[in-house]
Amino acid sequence: MTPLIQPELVEKECERWSKEGVNVTFEIRDNRNGYKAGALREGMKHSYVKQCDYVAIFDADFQPDPDFLLRTVPFLIHNPKLALVQGRWEFVNADQCMMTRLQEMSLSYHFTVEQQVGSSTFAFFGFNGTAGVWRISALNESGGWNDQTTVEDMDLAVRATLRGWKFLYIDDLKVKSELPCSFNALRSQQHRWTCGPANLFRKMAGQIIRSENVSVGKKLYMIYSFFFMRKIVAHVLTFGFYCVILPATVMFPEVTVPKWAAFYLPSLITLFIAIGRLRSIHLLAFWVLFENAMSLLRTKALVMGLLETGRVQEWVVTEKLGDGLKTKLIAQVPRENHVRFRERVHLLELLVGAYLLFCGCYDIIFGKNTLYVYLLLQSTAFFVVGFGFVGKYVPASS
């Protein structure tokens, strides 16, 4: 797929603004060393950066409003202890397909609840890598951009916090962006978003514990809530309990799982998810099934990150189709059945789907409860994911 934002077009746009008297410079590097962290580190080396106090960061698909800096920089000016002001992501293609709607639900919860709570209680949260403004002195004091993991944004946020800096998240500061509509692109993104934090936890946990600039309460929040529960336990519990242990109980009638653990508590958590995007509350059941199916991929990535093995340093740029896809370009996207079969099939998901199907059939024949309803639905979700019948097909980059 030809990139939608080509360097030549960006350069021409910069030239146009430069002729109108705007101080703008076009820069590009000739290698991918260090990936995004390397690119950001290279950008900070230019001489004109020394004249600046703040740096705003946006990924290529982000579209900030003209008043973005007016709504962020004053916080940094009036609070010298503040290192970062983070905006909220909004999505121009959330209605493109079922997969983008489900992503919107997860990310809306992340911003509405996780980022908001971290900002208001401990002035700490993971930098989202885009739609934010950093104080350059805080960035440099924290060691700058580091490519030791694939989550350079979270890495910098942790190191800045250990230096005593604070962060602010503004929920009503919305920046338009795009969700990946290709399932393979989503898989690559989710691998990085899961493997990277796990690997960062492995490398930074000791430094967090030993830090003298962070209170005990904040350390506990960072270690237990931010990393251990959200980045590790959540993935292992989702896959291990709901996709392995709970299905296996149908074959062992002497094993009983309390209803509060199997159904009531998850239902309550799911309702909290709905708070982030009420317009999609009717899709909650699909969201649960899809998240459970994705938990296998996340658990694999988690293990790679913790053990620092396999594809722990893999960085695949998330392919997106551009805002125009919603209208005139959508007809140009090849149909799903044009993709090669071996490119869309994911064997492990199919094996788990077969396991769940067996457990569901076993429960129908020999069981004394209605767990088979969940098992058959969840096995279907794994088969749909395993055969790649989700999202839209995006041709390989050329």
pLDDT tens-place string over residues 51-95: 999 999 999 899 999 999 999 999 999 999 999 999 999 999 999
pLDDT band at 296 (very low <50, low <70, confident <90, very high): very high
Identify which of 295, 382, 393 has the alpha carbon closest to the alpha carbon of residue 347: 382
pTM: 0.90
165-196 b/e with 16+ CB inside 10 Å = b? bbbbbbeebbbbbbbbbbbbbbbbbbbbbbbb
Question: Looking at the domain assignment, is residue 318 inside a domain?
Answer: no
> Is the domain of 371 the same as that of 290?
yes
157's tokens: 């946020």
- Last residue within a domain, chosen from 146, 165, 180: 180
- Last residue within a domain, chosen from 152, 180, 208: 180
Overall domain count for the chain: 2
* Domain interval for residue 58: 18-180
> Is the domain of 193 the same as that of 244?
yes
pLDDT tens-place string over residues 151-164: 999 999 999 999 99
Mean pLDDT, residues 85-106 taken together: 95
3-class DSSP state for residue 63?
strand
> In this model, does residue 339 exceed pLDDT 80?
no
pLDDT tens-place string over residues 234-289: 999 999 999 999 999 999 988 888 877 777 777 777 777 776 677 888 899 999 99
| Average per-residue pLDDT for the chain | 89
> Is the domain of 110 the same as that of 191?
no
> Is the domain of 149 the same as that of 247?
no
Question: Looking at the domain assignment, is residue 5 inside a domain?
Answer: no
Residue of 383 and 394 predicted with greater confidence? 383
> In this model, does residue 336 exceed pLDDT 50?
no
